[in-house]
Amino acid sequence: MTKKDTVFVYSPLFQQYKFHNDHPFNQLRVELTYDLLKEIKALDEADLVTPRMATIDELALIHDRKYIKAVELAGHGKLQNEEALNYGIGTEDTPIFPNMHEASSLLVGGTLTAVDYVMEGKATHAANFGGGLHHGFRGKASGFCIYNDSSVAIKYMQEKYGVKVLYIDTDAHHGDGVQWTFYDDPNVCTLSIHETGRYLFPGTGNVTERGAGKGYGYSFNIPLDAFTEDESWLDAYRTSIEEVAAFFKPDVILTQNGADAHYHDPLTHLSATMAIYHEIPKIAHEIAHKYCGGRWIAVGGGGYDIWRVVPRAWSLIWLEMNQKNIPDTIPKSWTDKWQKKSPVKLPERWYDHEDLYKPIPRKAEIEEKNALTVEKALLPIRPSK
């Protein structure tokens, strides 16, 4: 098989991971992204790879077998409510839905499919935007996440390929599930750049969370102040990713690309625009080639403005992976197709208008606070003066 530069893991069955019609987590955003890339002719059949289902043994690399069984029973209406709640399912955040085990296993299998393509040398980069469910724990669902595909994929890479993994999480919510899973492991380095947990789920991700035991010093957190804007966000990202990668020297990077730091996102309080989503994959791409021979797996994550933000943000990752030019405008064919379903006006351009929001009154104070946060987070790996 000839090596490809990139593969796009996709299935219409990703839509089966669906809590209910009014739930903020909506996998239609994966289809919207896929369709946008097709409309700009940046994605063709040769790029597509069908995801497989993760096996029980693969899920059990991270998740407790009793929990996996409970998810399976719940999805077939065979689990009592009280027992379900013990496992974090049947809650307002993570309600039970039909065939939830099968739907969740496909998302995990999608990330494992991406991993195998990259680690077996069949592709340099791989994207699975159906994945990125970073809040799932060993025996508990949390924050819209049933199984944690990134955690499973990292453990799978360690066991099958014996590699050191740098996990970079740019979701507005702290990547808690992945961090705690590898908190004492020096061969996995986690870097999460997120909105401070003071007002936002899951409330963790402080700079003092640095790892434990042999893993101490391999967990990095950059909790940004509410209302952080592009320049400050990108300063934190660029500085931290470059210094952490230089310190850790990974064999492969896995990026979780939640697109909920945007001003339009209904669940968070950051004030970023599309400008950060142009830069995030560029810098990740540079790091992958500098340290990992290009090996880069990108997954999705949060993102609750599924119409205006997520399709553009995730498309930009694929365009960067393939070094394709970004068109000036969003194709009219795409907006015409989806506008009738969208409750908001769809964007016409890849960048946001400069007057997206009114000036933030505390801008200088926020920037200063964020710069101090970055300094504290990176202090242990900076050379002493």
Please check the confidence at residue 24 and state whether its pLDDT lies above 90. yes
CA 149, CA 355: separation in Å to the nearest integer?
A: 37
The gap from C-alpha 71 to its chain's centroid, in whole angstroms, comes to 22
Rg of the chain on CA atoms, in Å: 20
Please check the confidence at residue 100 and state whether its pLDDT lies above 90. yes
- Per-residue pLDDT of 360-381, as tens digits, reads 999 999 999 999 999 999 999 9
In one-letter notation, the amino acid at residue 180 is W
Residue 163: name the closest of 291, 289, 66 by CA: 291
Quick one: DSSP state of residue 45? Answer: G
Q: What is the pTM of this model?
A: 0.97
For β-strands 123-128 and 48-49, DSSP reports them as unpaired
Residues in CB range of 52: below 8 A, 6 or more apart: 109, 110, 112, 113
pLDDT band, residue 3 (cuts 50/70/90): low
Please check the confidence at residue 1 and state whether its pLDDT lies above 50. no
Quick one: DSSP state of residue 122? Answer: S
CB of 310 closer than 8 Å to CB of 358: no
DSSP letters of 331-365? -HHHHHHHHTT-SSPPPSBSSPPTTSSPPPTTHHH
Please check the confidence at residue 245 and state whether its pLDDT lies above 70. yes
- Per-residue pLDDT of 32-68, as tens digits, reads 999 999 999 999 999 999 999 999 999 999 999 999 9
- Taking all residues of the chain, what is their mean pLDDT, rounded to a whole number? 97
> Which residue carries 């809590």 as its tokens?
19
Cα torsion angle, 299, 305, 306, 308, sign:
negative
